Structure 1
Amino acid sequence: MTTITIAICHYPSALRSAIYGLDELFMLANRVCKEHNLRCQFVPTIIETFENHDETYQIVILPPSMSGDYYRHPNTEHIQWLNEQHRSGSKLASACAGSFILAHTDTLQCRAVTTHWGLADDFRHTFPNQPLDIDRILIDHGDIVTAGGMMSWLDLGLDIIAKHAGEFVMRQLGKMLVVDTAPREQRYYQQFIPLTTHNDHVIRQVQQHINLHYSSSLTVTQLASLVHLSERSLLRRFRQATHYSPNEYLQRLRIQKACDLLEASQYPFEHIAHLVGYQDSTACRKTFIKIMGLTPRAFRQRFNG
């Protein structure tokens, strides 16, 4: 019998539905394994205190956080315990805001992680040297696994089950729970919400102009002239404030507007492309796929109720 010991961290303000949902998910996996005579057993334990807790687990999971500030400022004992678990051979895993706690440890070594797309700006501000990829729901480095959205604890749990009990058990659980176990990406769901809480009021003026005139032809030269900056200064300050170049910002804003129209209307995509500022619908389609990871048609099928 292969036994997989798992610690689920019940830290302050951790999402209880994720904590107990993961616990029950592994119990259900055990039931599937037993029914099909598979010699694999998951042993989850919910951990609430970390000081003087010496047991080593094969996997340690940091669930999402519902509220509060703990994930931004975890206590020292918790971080030391995670570092010790990792040094002892444990795989550390996080979902959503749990990646903030992981980033406080010594374990990431500048390897890319993911978190909820809505926390991306906060994460980058808090950990400016830590690579972040919010397009992906799951990033697995072997010893470190991070998952993106609030409900990505389910993706994380199913991935752990697939790796240790097999794809068959994971698919059976998907059928039992009526959840989609097919591969997907977080960027299918993310929205472009421009960062405006920075302190550069000149760049905010440029953002406001783009937001009002995104369907028009806009160039860096025009935008720089608008706020009396050189093009080089505009590019530097714009990226520093928003994390995008002006053109990247414009394309993401246009694609977000296209997403809104695909969800809320029955307009043909060629008309939507024109409404959001593209003269060539083929160029719009290519940009849409690059940013969203889906074709416009697949996006509409998934999200247009």
Structure 2
Amino acid sequence: MAGNRKIAVLSGKGGTGKTLISVNLAAVAGKSRYIDCDVEEPNGHLFLKPFPLSEETVAVRIPVLEEARCVGCRKCADFCRFNALAFLKGKPVLFEEVCHSCGGCVLLCPAKAFSERGKEIGRIQRGPSGSVSVTTGILNPGEASGVPIIRKLLEDAAGEESLPVFIDCPPGSACTVMESIKDADYCILVAEPSVFGAHNLAMVHRLVKLFHKPYGVVLNKCMPGENPSAAYCLENEIPVLGTIPYDKELGLLNSEGSIASRENSRYESLFSDLLRTVYLEVSNEAASDS
């Protein structure tokens, strides 16, 4: 049906139900892959509880200066757009917390004063949860960017030929989100029924349009009455893939770290219907591109 299509789930802020939808779609999909790209605060594993786990560290390359070779030309500092290099007393000083490991200073230095060393920035955990293959990225506290970990996470899905892949993105619209969706075949935008929810929906809506990604919206925590996010979808002709009601039982299962679709047939039906709608959208987009 959807084959190895990569489906990214994102939202303009945390707490909208992005992980709720991601883990339940993966659970009802049968054999599938779930990738948690919210590397600063991953929580999909709390629901899926993969076991046994394997772990791999992720490192980046950081420049190391051999001061005796430096001729004070400033080419390295002038090149660095992240201000990770500053000149003090005629010598470059590295602020490795903001270094993006581009390697430009090493390549540009005419005196070959820079070499590189490895720096561990986090880790990746892998394990099964029933029929779901779970991959989780974890960024070490204090690190500036989780992009290298996300790149490594998505390598896991790059060669996948048969499984649907569900990418649980970080909240917001920063670089980590862009990295998470850049190879996605379809994006699910999750929004709450409030003015603030509509504002954050507009933010990620602009992002997926910028990346020319096909997309649809899931409205979560819906109650009778005014729904600014639904109104935004109507005004902007955005397809609404499904609505999830504000439901005490669903909230309780979620707070207990349970996969709702595995615990209750009503929620299994809800998320299965949502998945079929998403698969249909993915298939329609694939057909229109061919």
Using structure 2 for the length normalisation, give the TM-score: 0.33
- Higher-helix-fraction structure: 1
Decide which structure has greater strand share.
2
Relative contact order (C-alpha < 8 Å, sep 6+): which is higher?
2
